[in-house]
C-alpha cells in the first residue's frame, strides 16, 4: 500500500473508513504483515485503526480489529514504541513529533476498543504494549524529550491497565473453576516468591528461555500490596517476563523447526563466527562475522535506516541447538562494519571462553532490550524504595486523600 493511500485513509470520515479499508483490504493487511521501514507509517496506521474503532458498523469493525491484532503489526508497533525515545533525527518521523498528543489519543482509542471487543485478545496482544512498550516509551520520552501525556490521557491509560488486570483476574478465576491445574504459579497472589527478585539475572538464563511457567504474580486490583518489597517484586517479574516471554516463544519455534526462515519475535543468523576482539574508547567486546549467505541476503540493505542490529539489542549465540547460550548485546552500530557483515558485540556471560573457535547460530530479540535493562536494574537497586513516589497510594492504596 502506498504512503499517499494510507494518508488518505487516515484522514477519511469514520463513516467511510470501513468501505475504504474494504477497497484496499489485501494491500492494507499486506502492509500490516510486512517489515515497516518508515516510522511515519506507524502513526498513520494507528490513526486509521482509531477511525475503525469509531466506525458505527460494529460487526465489520470487530472482525477487522481482530485481524489487525493477529497481524505482525502488533509486534512491530511494540518495537517502534520502545525505540521511539532514542531516535536520532525527528525528521524521519515528522507525523509523530509534530503532533504527539494526537498519536497517543489514537493509541488509547485503539486499546480501549480492543478491550471492549475481545478481552481475551486484549490480554494476549495488548498487555505487552500497555504494560511494557508504551510504559517504557513514555518514560523515555519524558526523560529525553520532556514530553508528558495530558492528565486525561494518563487517567485513560491507568484505566486500561486496571481493566486488563480485571480481565486477567476474571479469566484466571474461570480457568481455575473449570479445570484446576497443578503447578500453576501465575495466578497465586498468596505465594511467596522462590527467591529475592534482586538476585535474579536481568539478562535471560537458560532456565528462563526453556522453562514454560516462570513465577509471576498479577498486579493487585482490589486491595493493597503487603509492602514496598511485594510491589517491586511483582513489577520486576512482570516487566522481566514481558521481554523474555516473546523470546522464549521464538526459541521454542526454532527448536521445533530449526530449518525455517522466519520465527515469531526473533531473527536468526546462521553460521556466525567471532572474528576478533573489539576495543573502542571504554567499550570492550568482540566483532562477529556473518557468513557469505547472510552477506548476500543483506547486500542491498540500507543499514543507516534499518531497524535490525541496533545498539543495545539482545543477542543469543548457540552452537548446540539451544541447549546452551552465550548472551550478548550490540556494543556499537557501525554502518561501515555492518556493510562488511561485521558487528561489535558485548559478551555478558562471565564464563564464556574459546568463543573464536566455533560457529554459532545467532538469535536477535525483536523486543528492544536496552530500556528494559535499565528499568530492571533500577528496580533491583536497594535504594530504589526510598525514591518511589506516592507509595501511600500505589502500594498501600490509601484513598483517604481523595475523599471529600
In the predicted structure, residue 161 carries a pLDDT above the cut 90: no
CATH number assigned to the domain comprising residue 327: 2.40.30
Entry field: residues in the chain: 404
Task: Please check whether residue 356 lies inside any domain of the structure.
Answer: yes
Q: Structure pTM?
A: 0.56
Residue that wins the pLDDT comparison between 119 and 110: 110
Same-domain pairing of 155 and 133: yes
**What is the pLDDT, as a whole number, of residue 292?**
93
**Count of structural domains within the chain:** 3
What is 85-145 written as a DSSP string? GG-S-GGGGHHHHT-HHHHHHHHHHHHHHHHHH-HHHIIIIIHIIIIIIHHHHHHHHHHHH
Task: Please check whether residue 62 lies inside any domain of the structure.
Answer: yes
Give the pLDDT confidence of 90-115 residue by residue, as tens digits: 888 999 999 999 999 999 999 999 98
Task: Please check whether residue 332 lies inside any domain of the structure.
Answer: yes
Contacts of 136 (CB under 8 A, 6+ apart): 81, 82, 371, 372, 375
pLDDT above 90 covers what percent of the chain? 38
In the predicted structure, residue 396 carries a pLDDT above the cut 80: no
* Cβ pair 8, 45 in contact under 8 A: no
Same-domain pairing of 130 and 239: no
**Residue keyed to cell 473453576:** 177
**What is the pLDDT, as a whole number, of residue 212?**
64
Range of lowest pLDDT (113-122, 174-183, 278-287): 174-183
Nearest to 74 by CA among 24, 114, 20, 40: 114
Same-domain pairing of 102 and 248: no
State how far the Cα of 250 lies from the Cα of 263, in Å rounded to an integer.
6
State how far the Cα of 60 lies from the Cα of 19, in Å rounded to an integer.
10
Task: Please check whether residue 37 lies inside any domain of the structure.
Answer: yes
Residue that wins the pLDDT comparison between 190 and 151: 151
How does residue 398 score in pLDDT terms, banded at 50, 70 and 90? Answer: low
Task: Please check whether residue 190 lies inside any domain of the structure.
Answer: no
Amino acid at each position: 500500500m502506498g504512503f499517499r493511500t494510507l494518508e488518505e485513509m487516515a484522514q477519511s470520515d469514520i463513516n467511510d473508513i470501513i468501505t475504504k479499508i474494504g477497497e484496499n483490504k489485501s494491500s492494507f493487511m499486506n502492509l500490516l504483515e510486512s517489515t515497516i521501514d518508515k516510522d511515519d507509517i506507524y502513526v498513520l496506521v494507528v490513526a486509521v485503526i482509531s477511525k475503525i474503532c469509531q466506525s458505527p458498523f460494529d460487526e465489520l469493525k470487530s472482525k477487522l480489529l481482530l485481524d489487525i491484532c493477529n497481524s505482525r503489526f502488533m509486534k512491530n508497533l511494540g518495537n517502534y514504541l520502545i525505540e521511539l525515545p532514542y531516535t536520532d533525527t525527528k525528521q524521519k518521523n515528522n507525523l509523530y513529533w509534530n503532533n504527539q498528543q494526537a498519536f497517543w489519543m489514537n493509541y488509547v482509542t485503539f486499546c480501549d476498543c480492543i478491550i471492549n471487543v475481545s478481552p481475551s485478545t486484549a490480554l494476549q496482544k495488548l498487555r505487552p504494549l500497555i504494560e511494557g512498550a508504551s510504559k517504557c516509551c513514555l518514560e523515555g520520552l519524558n526523560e529525553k524529550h520532556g514530553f508528558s501525556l495530558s492528565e486525561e490521557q494518563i487517567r485513560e491509560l491507568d484505566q486500561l491497565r486496571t481493566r486488563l488486570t480485571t480481565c486477567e483476574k476474571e479469566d484466571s478465576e474461570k480457568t481455575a473453576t473449570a479445570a484446576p491445574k497443578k503447578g500453576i504459579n501465575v495466578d497465586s497472589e498468596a505465594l511467596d516468591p522462590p527467591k529475592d527478585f534482586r538476585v535474579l539475572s536481568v539478562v535471560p538464563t537458560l532456565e528462563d528461555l526453556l522453562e514454560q511457567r516462570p513465577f509471576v504474580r498479577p498486579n493487585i486490583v482490589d486491595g493493597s500490596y503487603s509492602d514496598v518489597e511485594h510491589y517491586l517484586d511483582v513489577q520486576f517479574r512482570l516487566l522481566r517476563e514481558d521481554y523474555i516471554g516473546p523470546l522464549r516463544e521464538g526459541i521454542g519455534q526454532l527448536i521445533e523447526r530449526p530449518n525455517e526462515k522466519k520465527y515469531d519475535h526473533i531473527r536468526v543468523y546462521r553460521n556466525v563466527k567471532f572474528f576478533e576482539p573489539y576495543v573502542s574508547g571504554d567499550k570492550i567486546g568482540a566483532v562477529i562475522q556473518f557468513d557469505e549467505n547472510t552477506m548476500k541476503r543483506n547486500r542491498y540493505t540500507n543499514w543507516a535506516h534499518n531497524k535490525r542490529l541496533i545498539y543495545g539489542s539482545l543477542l543469543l549465540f548457540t552452537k548446540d541447538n539451544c541447549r546452551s547460550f552465550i548472551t550478548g548485546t550490540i556494543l556499537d552500530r557501525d554502518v561501515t562494519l555492518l556493510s562488511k557483515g561485521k558487528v561489535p558485540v558485548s559478551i555478558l556471560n562471565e564464563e564464556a571462553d574459546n568463543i573464536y573457535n566455533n560457529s554459532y547460530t545467532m538469535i536477535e530479540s525483536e523486543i528492544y532490550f536496552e530500556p528494559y535493562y535499565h528499568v530492571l536494574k533500577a528496580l533491583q537497586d536497594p535504594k530504589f524504595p526510598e525514591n518511589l513516589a506516592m507509595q501511600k497510594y500505589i502500594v498501600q492504596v490509601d484513598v483517604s486523600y481523595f475523599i471529600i
